[in-house]
Amino acid sequence: MKRSLVSTFTSALVLATLSFTSCKKDSDQPTTETGEFTLHMDNGVTQQSSAGTPTFRSLVLNANTYQNANGDDFTVSTFKYYISNVKLLKADNSSYSVPDSYFLVDHSRPETQDLEMKGVPVGDYTGVTFTVGVDSSRTKAGNFSGVLNSNNGMLWTMNGNEFINLKLEGTSPQSPTRGLVFHVAGYKGAANNTIRTVTLPFPAANLLVRPDHSPEIHMHVDIAKLFTGPNPTATPPSPFQNPVKFSEVYNKMGGPSASKLADNIAAGMFSVSHIHAN
């Protein structure tokens, strides 16, 4: 009987110890908190004000007249582009890639200018990087739906699938046809690749992702920068010069010229204006 009582006590002690250890282990498991943020894309044109200072004017379709760096007047009837592969950067060189982040910004639909990112790990982020366009691996995968659906008018299929990464249409009195058509499309081959990656630091303050609030990164998307950039001359094709003259370059749909326009996009079309409600 004595041996049985000792054995019973020992067994109970072992079970209690195991139970406590298990509970302690569970309670010590790290919990990953998440928050959300929004990329707000403010499309417009930076122009000189009457006082001679640069002023960003939000885009108004089919109404306001703007100028490119060559001094050519233009209006815009269509402005659409893809943003994908959004990644947040930290000061320690680590990063967080937002999964399945494909967005189509269509200026005729204001709700598409707010790109919402949810389930983002809390932290202080110092910058953002993203692709302007749809990456080639996703293009090759096919099975397009949602913002990648061909019904959005941003997919070419005549020579295999290729996305129009950015589309601008409008008018200009300097154009020989009075029309402007710029479809920055394609990824096949170096001369035709129009997919570009943009990396932007946050200039004034970090992006603070927390569970209890939803900050907004306000981006300026300067349309006039499509027509000026890092290439003072470019051949082939001819003519193509920066700044673009609408009397010579007014209708480009893929090919080497579109690749030069994509360089212009990467060179300065996107900038961080400010972070709201951080």
Do 45 and 108 reside in the same domain of the chain?
yes
Do 3 and 45 reside in the same domain of the chain?
no
CA 121 to chain centre: 19
The total number of structural domains in the chain stands at: 2
Q: How many CB atoms are closer than 10 A to CB 91?
A: 10
pTM: 0.86
Do 25 and 74 reside in the same domain of the chain?
no
Selection from 221, 31, 226 nearest residue 122 by Cα: 31
Q: Write the pLDDT tens digit of every residue in 46-64.
A: 988 778 888 999 999 999 9
Please write down the HEC assignment for all residues of 220-234. Answer: EEEHHHHHCCCCCEC
Q: Which residues pair with 182 in a beta bridge?
A: 168, 252
Q: What is the full per-residue pLDDT of the chain (278 aa) written as tens digits?
A: 444 444 544 454 444 444 444 444 444 455 589 999 999 999 999 988 778 888 999 999 999 999 999 999 999 999 999 999 999 999 999 999 999 999 999 999 999 999 999 999 999 999 999 999 999 999 999 999 999 999 999 999 987 899 999 999 999 999 999 999 999 999 988 788 999 999 999 998 999 999 998 999 999 999 999 999 886 655 555 667 889 999 999 999 988 899 999 999 999 999 999 999 87
Do 2 and 117 reside in the same domain of the chain?
no
Domain of residue 238: give its range: 33-276
Give dist(CA 74, CA 16) in Å, integer: 79
Do 12 and 132 reside in the same domain of the chain?
no
Give dist(CA 235, CA 228) in Å, integer: 16
Do 2 and 94 reside in the same domain of the chain?
no
Do 18 and 143 reside in the same domain of the chain?
no
Q: Write the pLDDT tens digit of every residue in 140-159.
A: 999 999 999 999 999 999 87
Q: Which residues contact 167 (CB under 8 A, 6 or more apart)?
A: 78, 79, 80, 81, 153, 154, 182, 183, 184
